[in-house]
Every structure is written in C-alpha cells, then in structure tokens.
A = this chain, B = another copy of it.
Amino acid sequence: MPALPAFPDAVTERTLTLQTRLCVGLDPRAEVYRDTAHLRLHTLDVLEATAPFAACVKPQLAFFEALGLPGFTLLEEVCALARTLGLPVILDGKRGDIGSTAEAYARAWLGGPHAGDALTVNPFLGFATLTPFVEAARANGGGIFVLVKTSNPDQSDVQGSGVSERVAVEVARLNTEEVGAEAEAGTYASVGAVVGATHARDLATFRALMPHALLLLPGLGAQGAAAADLAPAFHAGGTGALASASRGVQYAAGSGAAGLDVAASVAAAKRFRDELNGALEL
C-alpha cells in the first residue's frame, strides 16, 4: 500500500481535490442486522459506496467493541479498505488515561495492528495526559482530535464554566509548538479538536482560538445540526473542518433492517457534501 501523506495534509488534500468536507461515520449497530456477516457486508458496502463523497471516515470504536473479537477483525478490514480508497481514518474512541496507560492507548490506536490515522482523545484527566497521544501522532504522521465541546446538550455539566475554552487554548499551544508562532492560519498541525456541529454559535470562537487545528464537527443529520450553519468553522477556501454524519449516512433510509439501503446512503452523503459546499458558497 502506498504511504499516505501526514494526516492533516491528507485530509486537506482530499477535501480540495474532491471538494468535500464530509466525514462519514460508521456506527454498525448489531441490532439492525441478521448476524455479524450481514453487518460486515453492509458496513464495507457503505464505506466503499460513499467514499467518493467523503474527506475521511470515522469508525466509532464502541460499536466494534460491542461485537467482541469479530468486531476487531472487522475494524482491521474497515481500516484496510479505507486505505485502499485513499480515505484517512479517524478512530472515534475518546480514549484518555495517565502516563504509561495513555502511551499504551496511543500505541494501540495510532501505531498498533488496528491503527487509524487519527484518534479522538478525552482530556478529562488533564493536559499532560495528552502528551503520549500527541507524540504518537507526530511520530506516525497521524493526528488526534481532543474533545473540546461535544455535540450533546448536557456537555455543559463538565465542559461548562470555561473548561472547553481552556482545552481549546491547550490545543492551540500544542499546535504552535509544532508549526511555530509565525505559521499562517490554515497550516494544520497534529492536534485537532472535536466541537459539536450543534453549537453553531460557538464555531467562530473555537475556529479563532485554534488556528492550526482541524475541527471535527459531529452532529450533522440525526443529532439535528444543519450544514448551512457550519461555515464559521472553516477557513477561507473551505479547509480546516470536517462535518461528521453517522446514522444520517449509514442508515439514511431509516432505522431497523428496512433502512439498509446503500443507494440511500450514497444519496445522503452526496447531499451532505453539497449542503456543506453550499454553506461555504463553493
């Protein structure tokens, strides 16, 4: 397999080449399928069929873990297929722990047998606990996305009172350490940030706070965020952010077995892509 460029460059290059800011989320829900073989086929089909409309793909680790050992085998297949399709992989695991445990997570998901190109990381244990993830991302040409302000309404229980803003300032500091204080906005470094697409009014603030961070914006579709509201998350030219839809793509035709319609997934991915470009007037 040809080596991909470093993660932030690979995503930006694909965004500009294909003119898409959509991240396709894969959340394979066991209860929708007859069995694991059925789940596997549909998940790989959705990935392959929607790839032309996607800047990257985001497998949600929880759904693979819920399948047990076959889930990890499938995750390896998903990562391998994505690589063949030229799609950077963001593993959505929201991992976080201290010291040598964080190192083990970083080794597992940014360098190990199921490694992706990037991993979502939970900062609850403190800023120094991000270091092993940042170092692994930098060493492997990968990336991390630190949870800054998640898409759900009750995030404010813990992320309120300035916590999200303090995490954002730390993300910016890590990136400046990497690209230098003179780098222009629009130069992207290894440390991205998760900011819910549902917080449209905050996007400009977080964009400004983290000039060198790729922003991952979950919540498009099923969670109610609208592509039309997301322009403030992007830099000029439409780079710097990825809006993510999961159920709204994989199960675009509806929940339950009746929703397993790959053509509907393709149509949804194409529609999200076009709505995002429309919001950016591209």
B105 touches A62 (CB 8 A): yes
Is A113 an interface position by the 8 A CB rule?
yes
Q: Summarize A's interface: helix, strand, loop or mixed.
A: helix
B113 touches A68 (CB 8 A): yes
Residues of B within 8 A of A104 (CB): 27, 29, 60, 62-63, 65-66
A residues bordering B, Cβ < 8 Å? 27, 29, 60, 62-63, 65-66, 68-69, 72-73, 94-102, 104-105, 107-109, 112-114, 122-129, 147, 150-159, 161, 163, 166-167, 170
A150 touches B122 (CB 8 A): no
Give A62 to B157 CA distance when docked, in angstroms: 27
| Oligomer copy total | 2
- Choose among B63, B72, B109, B129 the residue that contacts A69 (Cβ–Cβ < 8 A): B72
- Choose among B66, B107, B122, B155 the residue that contacts A122 (Cβ–Cβ < 8 A): B122
A29 touches B100 (CB 8 A): yes
Residues of B within 8 A of A129 (CB): 152, 154
